[in-house]
């Protein structure tokens, strides 16, 4: 039986940028494979004896374009993605490592990527479950991590006509419930962590603490003839949601803080927070 090998795929980046990490890859029994095109990348992903644990891009444009392709294949959607660039990215869904590569930083990103990859392989919400959600009239779910939030948002979005629009809004609401509700991160905390490119690492750490291991976000939905209703409850103390319901000029240039407003404006027919702010009802009209 052929043994599956772990690989990091690097898209269109010179090999010499990665000379410093070769010894680490040897010790972790992971190989780096350099590819020039997205077509070549997809071809390698389809090989049964290769397990891709991270994909590395040279800039945000490459990551975005390749991501749109990968997202069409459910099994590739959650492979962690790293940008190695001299330019900063505002996309909090992607790891960013600035040039020249620092081996300690690379090691941290790699270990987080392995954790995410292993989580996805053992995910309880399977691809089959995602499709079965569409046929249901109601359902209840419990999520804890950012990865679970994104996965459930994608699954539930297919209950509605414009799945991409709804998935964006659900993701924002779910992630806010985890970061700010259950984990207690303030707006300034998140700003500082994003500036240090360490938000996802900090979230992983906070989720590992005993005080957070039993904190979840409960999500339910009901599907009616002309609308779908989502209900989201976190275990936080709540917040004053009213200033965040519309776009604010003071947050236009910030790295975050627009998610609720965008969800309210683009994703849902109604966004109704319930005092003290740790639960919200979301309505999507099907007409």
If you write DSSP's letter for every residue of 168-224 in order, what string do you get?
HHHHHHHHHIIIIIIS---HHHHHHHHHTT-HHHHHHHHHHSGGGTT--EEEEEEE-
Q: Fold for 127-285, please state it.
A: Heat Shock Protein 90 (3.30.565)
More confident position, 27 or 177: 177
- Calculate the alpha carbon distances from 254 to 154, 198, 239 in Å: 26, 17, 19
Per domain, the residue ranges of the chain are 5-121, 127-285
Percent of the chain, pLDDT > 90?
Answer: 18
CA distance 115 to 200: 12
158-190 residue pLDDT tens: 898 878 788 888 988 999 999 988 998 877 777
For 109-136, what is each residue's pLDDT tens digit? 787 777 666 655 554 444 445 556 666 7
Whole-Å CA distances, 206 to 8, 80, 104, 185: 27, 20, 21, 10
User: What whole-number distance in Å separates Cα of residue 90 and Cα of residue 197?
Assistant: 10
Peptide bond into 127 cis (omega under 30): no
Between β-strands 227-233 and 279-285, what pairing exists: parallel, antiparallel or unpaired? antiparallel
Structurally, what CATH architecture does the domain formed by 5-121 represent? 3-Layer(aba) Sandwich (3.40)
């Amino acid at each position: 039986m052929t043994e599956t090998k772990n690989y990091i795929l690097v898209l269109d980046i010179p090999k010499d940028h990665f000379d410093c990490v070769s010894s680490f890859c040897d010790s972790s029994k992971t190989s780096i494979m350099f590819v020039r095109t997205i077509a070549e990348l997809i071809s390698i992903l389809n090989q049964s004896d290769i397990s891709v644990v991270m994909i590395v891009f040279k800039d945000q444009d490459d990551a975005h374009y390749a991501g749109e392709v990968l997202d069409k294949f459910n099994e590739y959607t959650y492979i962690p993605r790293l940008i190695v660039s001299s330019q900063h990215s505002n996309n909090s869904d992607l790891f960013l490592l600035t040039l020249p590569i620092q081996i300690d930083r690379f090691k941290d990103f790699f270990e987080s990527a392995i954790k995410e990859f292993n989580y996805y392989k053992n995910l309880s919400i399977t691809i089959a479950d995602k499709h079965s959600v569409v046929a249901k009239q109601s359902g209840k779910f419990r999520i804890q991590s950012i990865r679970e939030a994104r996965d459930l948002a994608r699954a539930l979005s297919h209950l509605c006509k414009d799945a991409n629009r709804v998935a964006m809004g659900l993701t924002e609401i779910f992630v806010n419930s985890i970061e700010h509700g259950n984990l207690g991160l303030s707006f300034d905390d998140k700003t500082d962590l994003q500036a240090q490119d360490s938000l996802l690492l900090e979230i992983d750490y906070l989720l590992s603490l005993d005080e957070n291991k039993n904190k979840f976000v409960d999500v339910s939905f009901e599907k009616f003839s002309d609308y779908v209703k989502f209900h989201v409850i976190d275990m936080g103390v709540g917040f004053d949601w009213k200033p965040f319901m519309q776009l604010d000029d003071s947050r236009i240039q910030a790295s975050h803080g627009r998610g609720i407003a965008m969800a309210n404006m683009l994703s849902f027919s109604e966004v109704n927070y319930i005092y003290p702010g740790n639960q919200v009802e979301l309505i999507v009209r099907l007409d």
